[in-house]
A = this chain, B = another copy of it.
Amino acid sequence: MPKISHKADALPASAIRKLVPFADAAEAKGIHVFHLNIGAPDIKSPDCALDAVHNLSLHHVSYTHSAGLPSLRRKLVEGYYKKVGIDISQEELIVTIGGSEAIEIAMSVCCDDGDDILIMEPYYTNYNTFCRKLNLHLRTVHTNIRDGFKMPDMSEFEKALTPKTRAVFINNPGNPTGTIYSKETIMEIGKFCLEHDLFLISDEVYREFCYTDEPYFSAMNIPGLEQHVIMVDSVSKRYNLCGARTGMFVSRNKEVMTAAMKYAQARLSPPLIGQKASEGAIDAPQEYFDSVREEYIRRRDYTLKRLNAMEGVFSPVPMGAFYTLAELPIDDSESFAKWLLTSFSINSQTTMVTPAKSFYSNPADGMRQVRIAYVLEVPELEKALDILEEALKQYPGRTLR
């Protein structure tokens, strides 16, 4: 029997999804699982997106241009990016299969095997998975839960730099921390990239989920950095179209776009119907975003109040996205998350959270932390957090510090 490759064998299983079999098993036993483990919101997509699907007149479902439907690209440029102050042309945008593909293409275009990417930790764990697939290394700058993941001094970036560093990767607002970087911070990072001739890959998929009144500042708008920036974007979270798998790869660097197109062409085409839904979604009125934002502020405030009222729990208030990292009085977040699914329930209900170990270069840093996605309505969050609170009392690995 042939053996699978060492590389596939060593690839880390997604921390966010690897507990899924235990959740499936719990659900098969009739236990209701509150999914706070994944950024899959329950909010309705804008009607214009759903109408675009229902009104689709289809003869067959064809491939689209490898860079996406021209009509969608035009509408993204004119109807969305222009409105949020990002001035790009259609040629500077490729529609990808979700933000995930845009990330992988961005890394591939910037880095050769063995190269380094600089990133602040804790980070979205799949960034590391993509690096492993591509033989790249993430070099991390640590940020600390106890001071609210405050942006470190740029000297920390200098320290993490190696001769093999080709890009800085930022996620703004950030998953899993919910951190938003100010214009000043983004400008500082841009200056660093310019000085060291690095690409800046900016994952901005949570752009519309900002709960401060400060205007959002995109890396695309750093003056003088036009040739360095690759923006990763997606309609998934913005319009609750996660399953549309419509992402965006954006850069003003022609060489970058030419290279990215080769990757896009190899996989032929992004999904057609999701692109049609996305095209419809762009007509969503500002009130849609406003009401979604209000709803998330409500959910965040409730979640954070509850978490920080639990004995031994600490979670800094996130300013963006819809996640928070919480430090819990537990021995091992992975064991705890698994225990919740296999050995604990209240009235046949339990809660699923994501262990934070894989968000850090040193898993020990996330040993006592979990990521909570506040993606349910408050009454559901209430039940989910009631369960978490009781679980923390009963968990055999409880360790108050």
The interface centre, meaning the residue of A4, A56, A61 with most chain B CB atoms within 10 A of its CB, is A61
CA distance A199 to B266 in the complex (A): 23
Query: Is A113 a contact of B98 with CB atoms below 8 Å?
Result: no
CA distance A49 to B56 in the complex (A): 13
The answer to whether the Cβ of A77 comes within 8 Å of any Cβ in the partner chain is no
Mark out the residues of chain A between 37 and 55 whose CB falls within 8 Å of any chain B CB in the assembled complex: 38, 40-45, 49-50, 53-54
The answer to whether the Cβ of A284 comes within 8 Å of any Cβ in the partner chain is no
Query: Is A271 a contact of B274 with CB atoms below 8 Å?
Result: yes
Query: Is A60 a contact of B38 with CB atoms below 8 Å?
Result: no
29 CB-based A-B contacts, threshold 8 Å: A1-B253, A2-B198, A4-B109, A4-B255, A5-B110, A5-B111, A5-B115, A5-B259, A6-B112, A8-B263, A14-B266, A16-B265, A20-B265, A41-B60, A45-B59, A45-B60, A50-B58, A53-B53, A60-B240, A61-B277, A97-B97, A97-B245, A97-B267, A130-B266, A135-B135, A244-B273, A245-B245, A271-B273, A273-B273
**Can you list, as one digit per residue, whether each of A61-94 has a CB less than 8 Å from chain B (1) or not (0)?**
1111110000000000000000000000000000
The answer to whether the Cβ of A272 comes within 8 Å of any Cβ in the partner chain is yes
Which residues of the partner chain B approach A63 to less than 8 Å between Cβ atoms?
A: 38, 40, 242-243
Name the contact of A244 in the complex, choosing from B2, B66, B110, B271 (C-beta under 8 A). Answer: B271
Query: Is B110 a contact of A2 with CB atoms below 8 Å?
Result: yes
Interface of A is mostly: loop
CA distance A347 to B227 in the complex (A): 43
CA distance A14 to B115 in the complex (A): 26
Query: Is B109 a contact of A66 with CB atoms below 8 Å?
Result: no
A: contact size bracket: 35 or more
CA distance A53 to B197 in the complex (A): 48
The interface centre, meaning the residue of A12, A16, A60, A111 with most chain B CB atoms within 10 A of its CB, is A60
CA distance A11 to B112 in the complex (A): 12
Which residues of the partner chain B approach A112 to less than 8 Å between Cβ atoms?
A: 5-7
**Can you list, as one digit per residue, whether each of A7-31 has a CB less than 8 Å from chain B (1) or not (0)?**
1110111101110100000000000
The answer to whether the Cβ of A119 comes within 8 Å of any Cβ in the partner chain is no
CA distance A283 to B40 in the complex (A): 30
CA distance A38 to B66 in the complex (A): 12
CB of A52 to closest CB in B, whole Å: 11
Which residues of the partner chain B approach A40 to less than 8 Å between Cβ atoms?
A: 62-63
CA distance A65 to B45 in the complex (A): 19
The answer to whether the Cβ of A100 comes within 8 Å of any Cβ in the partner chain is yes
Query: Is A20 a contact of B98 with CB atoms below 8 Å?
Result: no
The answer to whether the Cβ of A346 comes within 8 Å of any Cβ in the partner chain is no
Copies of this chain held together in the complex: 2
The answer to whether the Cβ of A349 comes within 8 Å of any Cβ in the partner chain is no
Closest B residue to A260 by beta carbon equals B8
The answer to whether the Cβ of A129 comes within 8 Å of any Cβ in the partner chain is yes
The 7 A-B residue pairs whose C-beta atoms are closest, nearest first, are A243-B272, A14-B265, A271-B271, A8-B259, A60-B240, A17-B265, A273-B273
Mark out the residues of chain A between 319 and 367 whose CB falls within 8 Å of any chain B CB in the assembled complex: none
The answer to whether the Cβ of A270 comes within 8 Å of any Cβ in the partner chain is yes
11 A-B pairs besides A4-B110, A244-B273 with CB distance below 8 A are: A1-B228, A1-B253, A7-B112, A7-B113, A11-B262, A14-B266, A17-B66, A53-B273, A129-B266, A135-B135, A242-B269
CB of A120 to closest CB in B, whole Å: 20
Closest B residue to A69 by beta carbon equals B243
The answer to whether the Cβ of A241 comes within 8 Å of any Cβ in the partner chain is yes
CA distance A60 to B277 in the complex (A): 11
Residues A5 and B166 in contact in the complex (CB < 8 Å), given A43-B60, A241-B61: yes
The answer to whether the Cβ of A391 comes within 8 Å of any Cβ in the partner chain is no
Name the contact of A274 in the complex, choosing from B50, B166, B242, B274 (C-beta under 8 A). Answer: B274
Which residues of the partner chain B approach A135 to less than 8 Å between Cβ atoms?
A: 113, 135
CA distance A273 to B270 in the complex (A): 13
